[in-house]
Homo-oligomer: A and B are copies of this chain.
Amino acid sequence: MPTIDILLPGFGLDTDQGYPAFCGVFLVRGPDAAGQPRNILVDAAHVGRRPFLWTALADHGLSADDIDTVVLTHAHWDHVQNIDLFPGATLVVHPDERRYAHTPHANDWATPAWTGLLLEQLPVREVGDGEEIIPGVEVLGLPGHSPGSIGLVVHTEAGRATITGDALHFAYVATTGRNPLVFWDADQAARSIGRILDVSDVIYPGHDRPFRLTADGGIDYLAPFALTVTGAGPDTPGLRFADSSARPSWVMPGIQEQRALYEKNADDSARRISRVPRVVRPAAAPRAAGPGSG
């Protein structure tokens, strides 16, 4: 059966000066339909975690070249920026997310205008709800947080485990049923949370630790919290800690225009996709060493 390892844990840490934005990065491994072992990376984090991603891969006996597939739960900045480390991989993304990334809304601060240039650096496979990546690993359509958010349902020995991306940022969202940060459609986002709860025994959120819901609706975390901060501490004058139990909700201003703009921009997105130069290339394939070659 396929397995899930946490390469980089997700954290819900925020500040009043900027977002550290540490999303979960996962390694899904299992045989494909032909029985060949596959190494699937789910989300890639932002550049500030790049050295940590290298180390995490090495800790799992892998180099970037061993990753054959990179699945993006969505195209927000903190999930996509390290995809250029995997020039030999196929990028798996929902078509709505790909197209939108080429003409994002001006108020969508998590999708800079140059996001499409980044996405097209890898060969893209577009996938929709229900598609299989390898046996036991299926795409779950989870729109709302962004136009083409997806999850992966992985049939593990521990049950059906869903990697949700930011369709479900934090464990507490499983109890409120509302996405705290909506860039596309709040009602769709709420339905997507319901879908995750329906199909999952274990949930791997976008910015939190994996958990199960208990019989009485409580949160049972499956991994401890572990983070070391340098540069400031409890004794640093001016450093404060605020309660985040009531994290405020945010819906992007202009969200009601999103769908019409997306349709209006369809041709522009297609044209942009066709024009992106590929600056990231796989290393030259090793020369086949045939019999007698020296």
Contacts and interface: CB of A to CB of B under 8 A. Distances in A.
Interface of A: 8-9, 11-22, 45-52, 54, 77-78, 81-82, 84, 102, 109-110, 112-114, 116-118, 121, 224-234, 236-244, 247, 272, 275-277, 279-280
Given A17-B22, A17-B227, A109 B239 contact: no
A15 B244 CA distance: 19
A51 B107 CA distance: 9
Given A113-B279, A277-B277, 19 more contacts: A11-B231, A13-B229, A15-B227, A18-B45, A19-B49, A20-B20, A47-B110, A81-B112, A102-B279, A114-B117, A224-B237, A224-B238, A225-B236, A226-B238, A227-B239, A227-B240, A229-B241, A232-B241, A272-B277
Contacts of A113: 84, 121, 279-280
A241 B227 CA distance: 9
Chain A contact surface mostly: loop
A161 B134 CA distance: 58
A82 B19 CA distance: 14
A80 to B, nearest CB: 10
A242 B225 contact: no
Contact of A244 (B51, B231, B238, B279): B231
Contact of A228 (B224, B237, B241): B241
Contacts of A78: 47-48
Contact of A18 (B8, B77, B118, B224): B8
A118 B143 CA distance: 28
Contact of A227 (B22, B81, B232, B275): B232
The 8 closest A-B pairs by CB, nearest first: A233-B241, A225-B238, A19-B48, A18-B49, A47-B77, A230-B244, A50-B109, A13-B231
20 contacts: A13-B229, A13-B231, A15-B22, A16-B230, A18-B20, A18-B49, A19-B48, A19-B49, A46-B77, A47-B77, A48-B77, A48-B78, A81-B112, A117-B117, A225-B236, A227-B238, A230-B242, A230-B243, A230-B247, A272-B279
Nearest to A114: B118
A46 B49 contact: no
A9 B14 contact: no
A102 B279 CA distance: 8
Contacts of A237: 224-225
A168 to B, nearest CB: 16
A240 to B, nearest CB: 4
Contacts of A46: 18, 46-48, 77
Contacts of A8: 17-18
Contacts of A11: 17, 231-232
A229 B14 contact: yes
